Each structure stands twice: as C-alpha cells, then as structure tokens.
Amino acid sequence: MPPAHPFDDDKLREECGIFGVVGLSDAANFVALGLHALQHRGQEAGGIVSHEAGQGFNSARRFGYVRDNFTSQSLMQTLPGPLAIGHVRYSTAGSKGPTQIRDVQPFFGEFSMGGAAIAHNGNITNADALRRELIERGSIFQSSSDSECIIHLMARSLQRDIPSRMEDALRRVEGAFSVIAMTRTKLIGVRDPLGVRPLVLGKIGDGWVLSSETCALDIIGADYVREIEPGEMVVITPETGVESIRPFRPRRSRFCIFEHVYFSRPDSIIGTRSVYETRRQIGVELAREAPVEADLVCPVPDSGTPAAIGYAHESGIPYGMGIVRNQYMGRTFIEPTEQIRNMGVRLKLNVNRALIEGKRVILVDDSVVRGTTSRKIKEMILDAGAAEVHFRIASPPTAWPCFYGVDTPQREKLLAATMSEDEMRDHLQVDSLRFISLDGLYRAVGESGGRNPDQPQYCDACFSGEYPVEPADQIEKGFRLKTAAE
C-alpha cells in the first residue's frame, strides 16, 4: 500500500504486530479483532492461520487493512477452529515497496509430527548467512522474508516435537524476535534473550491470548496476565495452561525504548507503566531541559499529543490544538503530482489559524527522521501567521538505523547523522530546536538515575549507535559500526 499521506515517509515504522488465541470457539474472529487493534504496527498486509480438528490448518493472507479483509463473513468462515494466530506487517526484511503475497505471514510448514505456523515480530540479523547455509543444504525458500529461516531450521532439527524444534531453531537465530507459533493443539510464544520486541500474555474465559500489545487484549475483553519475559518460551493448551521454558542463556534485558516513544499505542501498558503516562512524562522532562518563552504549546497530531500535554503542564504555557487532523483522510485519491502531494499535506493536517495567528508557538513532535515532515509543518504554521516556531522533540536525535525490525532509512538519510542540533535548526529554518536528552528519556520511562552507560537498560541503538546484537548481515554489506571517536 502507498503511504496514506506525504508525512508517512518521514516516520520510523514498526515492522509488524502478532496475535494468537487458543481455547475459544472461532478463534480466528478474535485474532482479526486483535490484529485490528495492532494495525498501527503494520498496514501493508495481514494474515491468519487457524486449525480445526476435522479440517486441519486453514490460512488467509491479504494486502491492505484488517478492516477491509478480515471482516468478511465468507472469509472468516474459511478459518474455523479453537486455535489461530495472525500477523500484520510492514516490509523491513524481505520485499521492499510492493509487498509480495508470499512474504505475508504467518508462515506454515508441514513436519513429520504435524504442521506448524509461525508469525514473527522483529528482524533476524544473521538471516543472510542462515539462508545461504540452508539453501546449500537443499532448503527451497518460498519467500524473501528473514522469518522463513525459522521454519527451515525447524524442519532440519532432529528434536521429536515441535516446541523442541522451535527451541533448536531459535538458538541459531541472532537479532530481535518475538514469535507466536501454533501446532495442531498448542499455542507457543517466544521472546529473544534481550527482550527487544514486546509480547504479552492474556486470559479470556477458558482461553489464552498472546499479543504484541495490551491494547489488543482490551478489544476482545481479555485480562492482561503478564509479559512474556526476555528469553522465555511459553507452550499453552486449554487443558494444561501455560508451561514456561527457558531455552536461552540468561542475558540482561534490552527492550526497545522507542516502543515507549512512538511504536506502541498510548492505551497500552509496557511492564507496569502506561505508555500514555510515559509520553506525558517525556514532555515534562523536555520542558525542564529545554524551556523557551512562548504563547502556545501545540502537538503534531497524533503522536506528539501526550508529550505536548506534559510540556504545557510543566511549563505553564497554554496547550492548544493548533493543528487539526482530518481523521477520514485515507490515501491521496488524486494523481500524485508534486503539486497534489503538497496539497495532500493539507488534506491530512490543517492549521487552526485563529489559534495560531500572532503567537509564539512550541511544536511538539515524537521524532525527526529525514526532516521533511518538520519543514512542511513549520511552513504551514508560519503561513497561518505564527510569530515564532520552536520545535521540541520527544526523543533524542535519530542518528543510527535500527536493524531489529524497524524500517529505518539508510544512515546518510537520517538528518541527525549528518548535522548537529544547531545545523538541523538552521536547515529547518525554525527559531529553536531541542531534543530530549538520552538521560531525560530514560528518566521519563522510570529510570530515575538516567541511562547507565556501562550497561544500558534499554536498546537505544537508533540514538546511541550502540547495538546490543551485532548486525552481522549489515556489516557484511559494508555498514560501519560506531567508532570510539563518535
């Protein structure tokens, strides 16, 4: 799917969302609802696999939004059974641009002891090396996705049951992964040893749920039980409940800090913290670190809203909706010439001129990636008669690409990789530009002492350039890791 509006190209994209249910009649219907709640994590395509004792495994994979595909009664009737998993995706590994249907998960494999399907959230950093090895040994790949390596590694395992084969396979995998899988009778969930990507456990009646975020539990009325811990595998059946296994050597957790900043929905819970409250606290920290005299604090909707509320509360400067978003704007429906693309910005966002005119405005946004978004919004604000424009950014400068399942531009296309903060301010032609510090971000997520430079509590590689898992495939292609001088 093409971007919904010109600003979509200037945001980091989470790679996908996963959801699974066991022990409920018509489990696929619950999975469709869960995927709808996780749509923000992947909008190119989605898929569901279900199992019914009499019919075996059934699957459906479609391009586009969940609401446009998995609300059809005729389609959902082809996915019967009390066990189902699903996936929504962006293309981070595998095909770029137009998605190939063969790359849409969940992936399915038939083994000697029965079939299994998997849905993967994250990115395998040694996928190229694994793929070469597997092809040399006779594996035939159906997709260009890194996730398919897991199915082939499972097929080559000598273990006697599917959960054990999955353990075997994932021990060969490097990078970031949260995986939901299903056999004929079991729902399985696994997080990588660093816990980079999220995965939570829920309970509904006699059934169990695995999900990328708690907001998807809410939509089906499931109770949040706990997070799947880093390095943990759970094997779930309605009869025996949740069995916990530890297949990996213990390591210190390095959860993705950008989940707090942008990826997760604000109504989700991460650990014991409300994502909304964390983002509001980011705004509080930002107001303390980067005060400025102004008349109005204005969010860039929607991701900048909680931080703008926190900034306004801490600074005492009034909060106002200076930019209004048209909630019903989808993809640009006119031939996308350059002139029409510029008009498309105003189809999506419009400035509240009566509120902005003559004011010194603080614009609060979640991030600056290429800078194209910030320049266009600044121009709209000035066109509406603002006296001054000050940007406050609710994350540190994004100077390094993510290789753990986030669609990040090449490093040279990241504004912060080539410019200092002052140079970015001049490039954007604003009166001031300030980012929250890395320590300030850590304080906002509950680390009162800030970031521990010797043992960082989170994965913050996109800000710091310190990668907790070496991106082997990228280094082979010429990517240069951060040097001591940087």
Catalytic residues: 16
Please name every residue paired with 297 in a beta bridge, in sequence order, or none if there are none. Answer: 319, 362
Distance, in Å, from the CA atom of 231 to the CA atom of 195, rounded to the nearest integer, reads 7
Asked if residue 297 lies in contact with residue 308, where contact means CB atoms within 8 angstroms, the answer is: yes
- From the list 381, 397, 390, 388, the residue with the least C-alpha distance to 441 is 397
Q: What is the Cα–Cα distance from 232 to 247, expressed in whole angstroms?
A: 7
Rounded-to-integer distance, Cα 261 and Cα 278, Å: 8
Place of tokens 């095909």: 95
